[in-house]
Amino acid sequence: MKTIILSTAIRLLTPVFLLFSVYILLRGHNHPGGGFIGGLIGSIAFVFHVLAHGANATARVFFSLTLYHHPRQSGHSRTRYFMQIMNANIRGRRKGRNMENRWNYIFVRVRPVYLIAFGLLLAVASGTIGLLAGQPFMSAFWLDVHLPVLGSLGTPLLFDAGVYLLVMGMVLKMIFTMSKE
């Protein structure tokens, strides 16, 4: 059931869900929580968005990226070229009539299977670091850096980020598959 109230509420709540899921992810390597529950909370945002707007709209809004570029002219500096590219990519459109035919674009779609694969790669890589250092598999290594929001950086945070992406990719794959039927 698609209503204006539901679609407006989901449009406002989706960033809140995603921000809260990242908070749970970052909190998890020092306290209970982490990648699994953070991935579930983040995927709930996309589940609600699919219910309100449909799977195609969700994939187009959150998992598609169009990058604009054009060949650099010989008289322009690299800074001017970079600023034109950034301006076109941030605004998402091409400016100027004479530049219309020079702009090319690259369309990138992030599929849930890619999230699953990259999450699995991160989780396995976090365990392999200990193995390469001569320790048992999944041994924790910490950097001497302490960041205000993240805390100490180490392999447990890398593992949690992998689980986060893996869980989110699995739920998104299930939701996109079920919504097509």
39-59 per-position pLDDT tens digit? 999 999 999 999 898 888 888
Output the pLDDT for position 138. 85
Same domain, 102 and 141: no
CA angle 60, 178, 165 (to 5 degrees): 60
When pLDDT is averaged across residues 86-109 and rounded to a whole number, the result is 59
Q: Quick check: 65 pLDDT over 80?
A: no
Task: Please say which residue of 108, 141, 166 terminates a domain.
Answer: 108
Output the pLDDT for position 118. 95
Counted domains in the chain: 2
| Model confidence band, residue 2 (pLDDT cutoffs 50, 70, 90) | confident
| Model confidence band, residue 146 (pLDDT cutoffs 50, 70, 90) | confident
Output the pLDDT for position 76. 66
| Model confidence band, residue 96 (pLDDT cutoffs 50, 70, 90) | very low
Q: Quick check: 73 pLDDT over 80?
A: no
Same domain, 99 and 164: no
**Which has the higher per-residue pLDDT, 163 or 138?**
163
Q: Quick check: 61 pLDDT over 90?
A: no
Same domain, 131 and 169: yes
Domain with 82, as residue range(s), is 64-108
What is the SS3 assignment for the chain? Answer: CCCHHHHHHHHHHHHHHHHHHHHHHHHCCCCCCCHHHHHHHHHHHHHHHHHHHCHHHHHHHHCEEEEEECCCCCCCCHHHHHHHHHHHHHHCCCCCCCCCCCCEEEEEECCHHHHHHHHHHHHHHHHHHHHHCCCCCCCCCEEEEEECCCEEEEHHHHHHHHHHHHHHHHHHHHHHHHHHC
Same domain, 80 and 162: no
Same domain, 80 and 155: no
Task: Please say which residue of 49, 82, 108 terminates a domain.
Answer: 108
Same domain, 91 and 128: no
Task: Please say which residue of 48, 75, 108 terminates a domain.
Answer: 108
When pLDDT is averaged across residues 13-30 and rounded to a whole number, the result is 87
Same domain, 46 and 119: yes
Same domain, 138 and 160: yes
Q: Quick check: 98 pLDDT over 50?
A: no
Same domain, 119 and 170: yes
**Which has the higher per-residue pLDDT, 59 or 102?**
59
Same domain, 22 and 100: no
Same domain, 54 and 124: yes
**Which has the higher per-residue pLDDT, 108 or 15?**
15
Same domain, 92 and 125: no
